[in-house]
Chains A and B, each alone.
Chain A
């Protein structure tokens, strides 16, 4: 069974630009969560999508948005990039939400975003 895939793996952008990251969950998984990892803040939850609906959101500005498609693939968008947005962006998928063990999240390799 293929794991979670994320594209692109590396991305370099300049301040003010926008970026779209893609995540394909494990087949059969309907929940996709996004996390940002930075050296100073660790792993922080961005948002979670389940059946094309955003079910939960972390404490990030509105420049960070996402969506999920009917095939459970998800995209994350960051507009008006800032230097502080440089990070490893991870997505994780799980089978469903609302119960133990089915909630175990499996992570993709991440997209390393560098903002210059």
Chain B
């Protein structure tokens, strides 16, 4: 049972345009969401996170939107740059609802983003 889903395995955009990566989740207990970027043979690098008490969090070119009713989050990268080409994972956790599942991130399958010069 995939609790976090990234339905698009790949995405290709032109440099300077917007990249939108999507993620859906099924577990209503998730209250903290993160996006990671990963290059081959390296560990994921934290990009941005959002708590369920917010619906938007912005950090430079990266913005994460959370729609709790739809159990959907998205990562916007504006403008996209060739160096953004990587695999992007969304992850979710139950940070706020007790300690039984803290420290455990549930990851989506990842979306490979290619930004063309």
B110→A42 contact, CB < 8 A:
yes
A56-B101 contact, Cβ under 8 Å, with A108-B43, A110-B42:
yes
A37 to B95, CA, bound (A): 22
Counting residue pairs across A and B whose Cβ atoms lie within 8 Å, the total is 84
Interface size on B, residues (CB 8 A): 29
A54 to B102, CA, bound (A): 11
A98→B102 contact, CB < 8 A:
yes
B46→A103 contact, CB < 8 A:
no
A103→B95 contact, CB < 8 A:
yes
Q: Least Cβ distance of A114 to chain B in Å?
A: 13
A107 to B91, CA, bound (A): 13
A48→B95 contact, CB < 8 A:
no
Is B88's beta carbon under 8 Å from chain A?
Answer: no
B46→A97 contact, CB < 8 A:
no
Is A64's beta carbon under 8 Å from chain B?
Answer: no
A90-B43 contact, Cβ under 8 Å, with A56-B102, A100-B95, A103-B32:
yes
Contacts of A90 in B (CB 8 A): 43-44
A33→B104 contact, CB < 8 A:
yes
B interface, over-half SS = loop
Q: Least Cβ distance of B92 to chain A in Å?
A: 11
Within 54-74 of A, Cβ neighbours of B (below 8 Å) are at 55-56, 58
A75-116 vs B, CB cutoff 8 Å, 1 = contact: the mask equals 000000000000010101010011111011111111010000
Name B109's closest neighbour in chain A (CB-CB).
A42
Q: Give chain A's interface residues, CB within 8 Å of chain B.
A: 4, 6, 31, 33, 35, 42-45, 48, 50, 55-56, 58, 88, 90, 92, 94, 97-101, 103-110, 112
Listed from nearest, the 8 A-B pairs whose CB atoms lie closest are A48-B103, A107-B43, A97-B102, A43-B107, A100-B51, A103-B95, A42-B109, A107-B44
